[in-house]
Amino acid sequence: MAQRNYGKRSAQDLLQDVLDMEVDDDESSEDENDEYSDDSENIVSDLEDLSINNSESELGDDNEYESESENDNNEWRQVTDTDFTLDTVDFSVRNTGVQIPPANIPNTVTGMFQLYFTDELIQNFVDETNRYARTKIAALGVLKPRSIWRKWSDVTMMEMKCYIGIILKMSITSACDMKDYFSTRWDNYIPFFTDVIRRDRFLMIHWMLHVEADNPGMQRQTRGMKIRNMVTHMKSKCTELFIPKQNIAVDETTIKFKGRVGFLMYNPQKPTKWGLRVFSLCDSETGYLVQFEPYYGQTTSNALPNPNLPIPLLQLPFWKS
């Protein structure tokens, strides 16, 4: 049987063709049955396509509306303030700024310095230095006849204050060696240093200086342990004397230093390449250092609330409003 060409015909015509084929099948041979099978499958397929096309044509307007609505939902549009609202938290810290009564604010540089380096802190320097010196000298055993430690005597409060003043003066006066500050040569002579303290006495205090001496019962030393009490004292004083305002800044600071410590940092991209890294929180309006955290390496990161962050979080105090 020759294959019929149906083209685009109505459903009624296609159905009539199917009925005609059933009549022809009774009179056809087995070979023709194979062709009929192919034709019937094509007709059924055409009927299904026609039925789908009719249903789509009847619902064409609705589908078009749905597609347009979907496109509208996916389009970008400008968000305005009326689309949503955010809850804002007002700045609730009260009594910000200097926490010293105006009548008690010092009017001299020395008075301002003593607000942080209190007599209690300096007395701690004196006690720890004397304790370390006695332990060190006792460990030497019998001293040589010309040993400088034969002249050792316990440091007093006044001597420790003189020592701190000389250290601050050395930071703004350049010299090749520490002994040059006490030189009596006419080309190097600086009266201030020799008038305040003798060179040998200054060097003995410098060699024995300790903020927190070693304790025999203390566990394994960690970085920063020997200055822990001083750092704790300074943190408390910084937050006690000033409460920051609304705008603050957190950043890392490098203190220039090239001494022998295990947590010395080196960054070739910084103006100060060698130094000690300190994470600091400052008041943006005044530049006041409110809080700080020295960075001793991995031990500092592990001790903070979120050690997984790239920058350690500061241990900030809680200020009541």
pLDDT in tens, 62-107: 555 455 555 555 677 776 766 667 677 788 888 888 899 988 899 9
Task: Report, as an integer, the average pLDDT of 218-245.
Answer: 83
Which helix H or strand E contains 277, and what residues bound it? strand 274-283
User: What integer is the mean pLDDT of 16-39?
Assistant: 54
Amino acid identity at 204:
M
Per-residue pLDDT, 275: 87
Q: Where does 171-318 have alpha helices with state H?
A: 191-196, 199-208, 228-241, 298-303
DSSP state of 217: T
Nearest to 183 by CA among 167, 168, 197, 199: 199
pLDDT surpasses 80 at 184: yes
- The predicted-structure confidence for 39-48, as pLDDT tens digits, reads as follows 555 555 555 5
User: What is the structure's pLDDT at 1?
Assistant: 47
CA 289 – CA 176 distance, rounded (Å): 32
Element (H, E) at 37: helix 30-58
pLDDT band per the 50, 70, 90 thresholds, residue 317: very low
**CA–CA separation, 177 and 134 (whole Å):** 27
CA distance 4 to 42: 10
**DSSP secondary structure code for residue 317 in this structure:** P
Mean pLDDT for all residues in the chain? 77
How large is the average pLDDT for residues 153-174?
A: 93
Q: Which string of DSSP letters, residue by residue, matches 87-150?
A: --------S-EE-S-GGGS-SSHHHHHHHHS-HHHHHHHHHHHHHHHHHHHHHH-SPPTT-GGG
Question: Cα angle vertex 317, ends 314, 318, to 5°?
Answer: 130
Residues 6+ apart with CB under 8 A from 47: 11, 14, 15
**242 vs 35, more confident:** 242
Inter-CA distances, 274 with 16, 17, 177, 292, 299, Å: 97, 96, 20, 19, 20
Confidence class of residue 165 from pLDDT cuts 50, 70 and 90? Answer: very high
Q: Is the pTM of this model over 0.75?
A: no
Q: Are 98 and 242 spatial neighbours (Cβ–Cβ below 8 Å)? A: yes
Q: Note the pLDDT of residue 255.
A: 84
The mean pLDDT of 196-208, rounded to a whole number, is 94
Confidence of residue 315 (pLDDT cuts 50, 70, 90): very low
Please report which confidence band the pLDDT of residue 218 belongs to, taking 50, 70 and 90 as the band edges. low
Residue 212 has a pLDDT of 79
